[in-house]
Structure 1
Amino acid sequence: MTHPRSATTGGTAPASERELAPDLARGAMLLLIAMAYAGVYAGVSFGAAAERTSPLDDAARFLTVLVLDNRAFSMFAILYGYGMGWLVARQLNAGKGEREARRLMRRRSLYLLLFGSVHAFLVFPGEILASYGLAGLALGWLLFRPDRAITRAVAILTPVYAVTVTLGMFAVASSEQGEASGQWGLPGYTTAEDWVSRLSGVPFTPLFIAFAYPLLLLVALGFWAGRRKLLDDPAAHRVLLTRVAVVGTAASVLGALPAALVTVGVLSPGPVSTGLLLALQVLTGVFGGAGYAAVFGLLGLRFGDRRGPIVRAVAAVGQRSLTFYLANSVLVAVILHPDLGGLGARVGAFGALCTAFAVWLLAVCVAAWMDRTGRRGPVDALLRALVYRGAAK
């Protein structure tokens, strides 16, 4: 069994040890996730019924389903699996026993589940941290098994998710999707019913994501990529990364195109056909997540040591991904949620995406300052302190 040589999760590696590609991918990924979240506040949530608006808003809705929905999530899940592999490898390479490495991995997964649950309750019900914590608990044991066990898990999970995703999307298509709040719904903050709705969704959402979206498959693919150091050493894997980037991105776009056309009202299929098109969009998101990650692996190779201020700043966001994932989500909610800033209903889909971009730019500026002054992300540092409490770091 082989392991990547360094880790940035669970013991954040010093800046001098970090590879550019994973941090660059995480930093850019947070823009895509912020845009996907922002769209929900403007009625662009995945699976929502078509609603003709302005040309700019129609274009934003179309592009959201085409290149963001279930693509940013997929890349995040793959990178999470990759990072879990780094965590275990870093512990084992430092001389820790397997038992200690397992304990730290379980603690990290449990705290991610806790952080995500709080985030879902207070901010965004459809958030993904809790799901990743659940995935870590479910699949973490694979990181202590030979490569063939991970490959076998990918082979088993692929047909399983072909079935469960399709069933999940049939449920989405047959439910009442005409409301602007979309698939996840957006509970407010002003009534007891709002808070009951938020609380009741906390245990449900991670389980729904693990069933109706290919979460465990994506994390296992991250394990597989981590074992091969695809992003740690992109020069050695240039040909594979190029193929994955081209084929993955192309398959992702083609698979999402029918659902994107449904979103803007160009196609009007019945519930069964809609469920199939949504399932196609979700399943080809696996290709999209892999393709996007490969693109950033190649960009990391392209920039190498020639890191200008923009590249360094985006990578700095990625180095503090937990902090800025939560910060971006909170700011987007404060600005766009109808019970808070209330701009979501006024700025439309295009304005929501612009808002997310502005929030991400602010994160880039703050991350660049933190990088220059040697500051860690506060939430990342908190997670590390909790995970390593009572353990040698």
Structure 2
Amino acid sequence: MKLATSFTSSQGQRFPAPDVSRGLMLLFIALANIPFWVVTTSSSAPSDAADTAWLWVRTLLVDHRAYPLFAMLFGFGLATMINRRVASGTRSYLSSLPGVEAGREPTSQEETWAREQATVDARRLVRRRGLWMILFGAAHAALFSGDIIGTYGLAAAVFAGWLARRHRKRAMAVCVVITIAAITTMYTMGSHLAAQGLTSAAAMQQGTGESSATLLSYISGSVTSWAGNSVATVLFSMVVPAMFLGARLADTDLLAHPERHRRLLTAIGLGGLGVGAAGGIGYGIWATGGTLAAWTAPLHEVMGLAGACGWLALLALYAGGPTADGRMTGLRRLASAVGRRSMTAYLSQSLLFATIFLALPTLTGIELHLGEARAAGIALAVWLATVGLCAVLERGGHAGPFETLLRTAVARSERRRRLPVPPVVAAPAEPATSRGVYDLAR
């Protein structure tokens, strides 16, 4: 089955796997982001056995696995949006041609013209959406320099044409180049740090937090750091390869009907998580107090994509395929509500983290001293709070406010373009009369 339109069929049936995966993926994002707040606010405490155990779990299964998973779902969503726009746009352009509404069949040249115009519209839509996401990310970066919305927006804006026109060979080539660049850069940095003697995680974290002496210095430093990190993430991480991989999934039914591919998805899920965990062992040794080897960071980064594939496969299996009545219950229903409001949930996480780690200590004078395990508990509580928020919005029939804002901004910023003239249809030749045929025969 080819997903030519969207997650939803003409009868309004919704495929749950993408939404449920996004909703549960945001828990991984919260777990991956909270170390930033702990380090930034100097809230860490001496580690104990529970902290060490959690560090191993987070390193092998969450860190550098959550964001590639997010990127795959982002690429899947972009490709689905493109497919929908091209299909509906082609029909619209064909219906505008003279004589088509009266029953005339369009020619192959007209169909090619209509599809080309629809593809251009889809490319412009993705690029416009990406540019707005960069702006949203810049605003978010004033609070959280680890923002990923702007990074994904940058990737969408740069590669909008390749996504719309399905330049798969070019995409594969750039993914290979980016992977090599990521490996080379991280290996070089690891070698340099090892040569300088900065091989422990504790030494690396000293002085890495944002300056919070004043509000202005925090905001300026955060936005500056975000801008540089966004470009570096696009060029030297697995975000772009993950995005193109997710876009390729939109041409399959692996996420639309995971119940049809249980064996394959189970193998990918267990195998991907296993390979990802194996690739993170060296990084885990460093994170729990060992020394940093030059090869640990690049291996952890590249194998993170395998781990992300494993998580996506298992989450799709958990979500299952569409039901006859389209209803879901329990955690699936809650996760789906979060997944359809993923931007709102993601930004709400930052607001809650800032309240806990910045606002409350300032107002109460209480200093936080958290270990890794307690910090993870706060991340879980924050995710549960966003689940409650999205459940309330779902019950009221409301979309996420930030999704609505982005959709409105993208729609209102659309500009008309001059369309090329459609191909001219030659008038049908008049049939020869019997007299004319007779004369020619003579």
TM over 0.5: yes
Give SS of 1:196's match. Answer: helix
| 2:75 alignment partner, one of 68, 78, 81 | 81
Q: Which residue of 1 aligns with 2:228?
A: 204
What pairs up with 1:127-146 in 2 under 5 angstroms?
Answer: 127-143=147-163, 144-145=165-166
1:62 maps to 2:61 = no
1:379 maps to 2:398 = no
1:277 maps to 2:296 = yes
Alpha-carbon separation, structure 1, partners of 2:166 and 2:249: 15
Quote the offset at 1:200 in angstroms.
2.1
Q: 1:279 to 1:189 in 2, by over 3 A?
A: same
Alpha-carbon separation, structure 1, partners of 2:331 and 2:128: 34
Alpha-carbon separation, structure 2, partners of 1:210 and 1:371: 34
Identical amino acids, percent of aligned pairs? 28
Q: Which residue of 1 aligns with 2:438?
A: none
Alpha-carbon separation, structure 1, partners of 2:2 and 2:175: 18
Alpha-carbon separation, structure 1, partners of 2:266 and 2:285: 28
Q: Which amino acid is 1:138 matched to?
A: V
Q: Which residue of 2 aligns with 1:109?
A: 130
Identify which range, 294-303 or 358-367, moves more after superposition.
294-303
Q: Which amino acid is 1:38 matched to?
A: I
Work out whether residues 44 and 61 of structure 1, in 8 Å CA contact, stay in contact via their aligned partners in 2.
Answer: no
In structure 1, list runs of 5 or more residues that go unmatched.
none
Q: Which amino acid is 1:94 matched to?
A: S
Q: Which residue of 2 aligns with 1:264?
A: 288
Alpha-carbon separation, structure 1, partners of 2:186 and 2:3: 31
Quote the offset at 1:87 in angstroms.
1.3
Q: Cα deviation per residue 1:44-91 (whole Å; 9 max; x = unaligned)?
A: 99xxxx995122222222222221111111100111111110111111
TM-score normalised over the length of structure 1 = 0.85
| 2:390 alignment partner, one of 340, 347, 367 | 367
Alpha-carbon separation, structure 1, partners of 2:352 and 2:211: 17
The count of aligned residue pairs is 379
Aligned CA-pair RMSD: 3.2
Alpha-carbon separation, structure 2, partners of 1:388 and 1:112: 13
Q: Which residue of 2 aligns with 1:5?
A: 4
Give SS of 1:95's match. Answer: helix
Work out whether residues 259 and 277 of structure 1, in 8 Å CA contact, stay in contact via their aligned partners in 2.
Answer: yes
Alpha-carbon separation, structure 2, partners of 1:327 and 1:15: 33
Give SS of 1:235's match. Answer: helix
Work out whether residues 40 and 181 of structure 1, in 8 Å CA contact, stay in contact via their aligned partners in 2.
Answer: no
In structure 2, list runs of 5 or more residues that go unmatched.
91-117, 416-442
Alpha-carbon separation, structure 2, partners of 1:112 and 1:197: 20
Alpha-carbon separation, structure 1, partners of 2:407 and 2:11: 16
Q: Cα deviation per residue 1:1-33 (whole Å; 9 max; x = unaligned)?
A: x9623436xxx9999443110111100011110
Alpha-carbon separation, structure 1, partners of 2:368 and 2:10: 43
Alpha-carbon separation, structure 1, partners of 2:11 and 2:334: 13
What pairs up with 1:348-363 in 2 under 5 angstroms?
Answer: 348-363=371-386
Q: Which residue of 2 aligns with 1:324?
A: 345
Give SS of 1:346's match. Answer: coil
Alpha-carbon separation, structure 1, partners of 2:257 and 2:362: 45
Give SS of 1:94's match. Answer: helix
Alpha-carbon separation, structure 1, partners of 2:19 and 2:231: 28
Identify which range, 382-391 or 283-292, moves more after superposition.
382-391
1:19 maps to 2:12 = no
